[in-house]
Amino acid sequence: MAGMFKNVFGSQEAKSDDDFADFVEAPNPSPASLVADSTVAPAANTLAAKQVPYTAWYRVWERTSPSDFKQEAMIMPVILLIVLFHLWGTRKNRKRARDWAQAHGPSLQKEFAVVGFDGIARPAAVDGEAITLELANPESLLKERSACEFASYATGRQNVAFLDVNLKMPKRYNPITFIMEYVFSFFFESWEPPVEKYEALVYAFDGKEKDLVPVLAKDSVPVKVPSSTYDGFIWAVVHKSHMRKFRNDRYDASLTFSKDNPKLPSWVTVMTESAEISDTLLTPELIQAIEQAGNDFEYLIVTDQPIDRPTKIDETIPKKRIQLSANLASSPSGYTSTLPLFNQFLCLSDKLVASAHFRGEVMRKVRNIREEEIKRLRRVDEEEKAEERRIAAEKIKKDERERILRGLSADEQRKFLDRETQKGQRRQAKKSTRKG
């Protein structure tokens, strides 16, 4: 009996030891050695060295190869080509502008006291001696507005308020635009091909010297300025290849009629308001200069009307101007053909002041053309004012109707709207009866 209880209670210790024998006899874990095994470490280090070599951060050539820069190798030549094209285009345009200034600068300095934008006047002649014209720096005459546009300015001349010159050149600095302009002009007739040209514009004093220039005096005695007025008209000599565009782009040219002149070459035509004006302005020197300019000549116009079609009567006020447009020569020596025309253009204001005073019949015809345009603008102006008055009256009537409706009850508003509907129907019936 005791043995049985002993087996029951006393053998539990032995049973417990047997159950946990595996855990009791398990060895204690020990930390892994931090020292790499001499047999494994060299192989691992060799593999790591083959995959990612250790180099300093600035030794790029040790961490890269030429194959890593394939995209850059394809892009950089394109960028370099664009940069070189841009530098070539800007230098080319500047050189073309300097050549023009070198050729035309002496003529400008001869005719004007101030040439360029610095406002420095050239010295006056002493004892009737001619001044030696030297243009050491032609760039002083020009101002670069953009890589394809240059400007010049001159003032200080009798009968001329000031002169503006604008040089336009192709956009050589942009290869895409430069090529596309030539392509579009080849396939589309309306697309103008890129050209190299200059436009010179003279603004006449027209008798307003006293308002624009300080009183001149010599030895404390006021100097009498001769009158610089002349009759207002439109007269132009145009190369026939530019005649259509010239007439379409300019409002003043649309007021004229075209007629060939036997004194001029067959490739130019005269656009004027009266044949008598052509007989006065076509001097032998001007005809010879136009012939000598050849195809580089585009147009020469004397006008007192705006370029853009006027939309108000104030815009029809005469503003007398003389404008010349010609192509740039291909080389500096080529300006010898267009320079005589430029000189005639600079002196044309003197010719106008001396001779552009026509008979009453001629000017009456010119005024009739202007008055027709003024009448048209006046009609348009009156129609616009009548429309404004109608809109204002309708607005007042609408506000009054809304005020009346707000003061009525619902039934009264319904009756009011019914009466309006009946009136509208009767009005519509009367209109139908009149039409029948």
What does the pLDDT read at residue 29? Answer: 52
Q: Are 65 and 101 in contact (CB under 8 A)?
A: no
> Who's near 105: CB < 8 A, 6+ residues apart?
115, 133, 135, 138, 141
What does the pLDDT read at residue 13? Answer: 46
Q: What is the 3-state secondary structure (H, E, C) of the chain?
A: CHHHHHHHHHCHHHHHHHHCHHHHHCCCCCCCCCCCCCCCHHHHHHHHHHHCCCCCCCCHHHHCCHHHHHHHHHHHHHHHHHHHHHHHHHHHHHHHHHHHHHHHHHHHHHHCCEECCCCCECCCCCCCCCCCCCCCCHHHHEEEEECCEEEEEEEEECCEEEEEEEEECCCCCCHHHHHHHHHHHHHCCCCCCCCCEEEEEEEECCCCHHHHCCCCEECCEECCCCCCCCCCCCEEEEEHHHHHHHHHHCHHHHCCEEECCCCCCCCEEEEECCHHHHHHHCCHHHHHHHHHHHHHEEEEEEECCCCCCCCCHHHHCCCCEEEEEEECCCCHHHHHCCHHHHHHHHHHHHHHHHHCCCCHHHHHHHHHHHHHHHHHHHHHHHHHHHHHHHHHHHHHHHHHHHHHHHCCCHHHHHHHHHHHHHHHHHHHHHHHHHHC
Decide the pairing of beta strands 297-303 and 257-259. Answer: unpaired
State pTM to two decimals. Answer: 0.71
Give the residue among 90, 78, 76 at the shortest CA–CA distance from 174: 90
> Who's near 231: CB < 8 A, 6+ residues apart?
356, 357, 358, 363, 366
Residue ranges in the chain whose pLDDT is less than 50: 1-2, 4-6, 8-17, 20-24, 32-40, 44, 47-49, 125-133, 217
> Other CB atoms closer than 10 Å to residue 25's CB: what's the count?
7
What does the pLDDT read at residue 40? Answer: 47
Residue with tokens 């024998």: 21
From CA 318, how far away is CA 356, in angstroms rounded?
A: 15
Decide the pairing of beta strands 197-204 and 321-327. Answer: antiparallel
> Who's near 325: CB < 8 A, 6+ residues apart?
197, 198, 199, 200, 298, 299, 300
> Who's near 97: CB < 8 A, 6+ residues apart?
142, 144, 150, 167, 169
What does the pLDDT read at residue 135? Answer: 54
What does the pLDDT read at residue 222? Answer: 59
From CA 215, how far away is CA 221, in angstroms rounded?
A: 10
3 CB-contact burial (10 Å; exposed 0-12 / middle 13-18 / buried 19+):
exposed
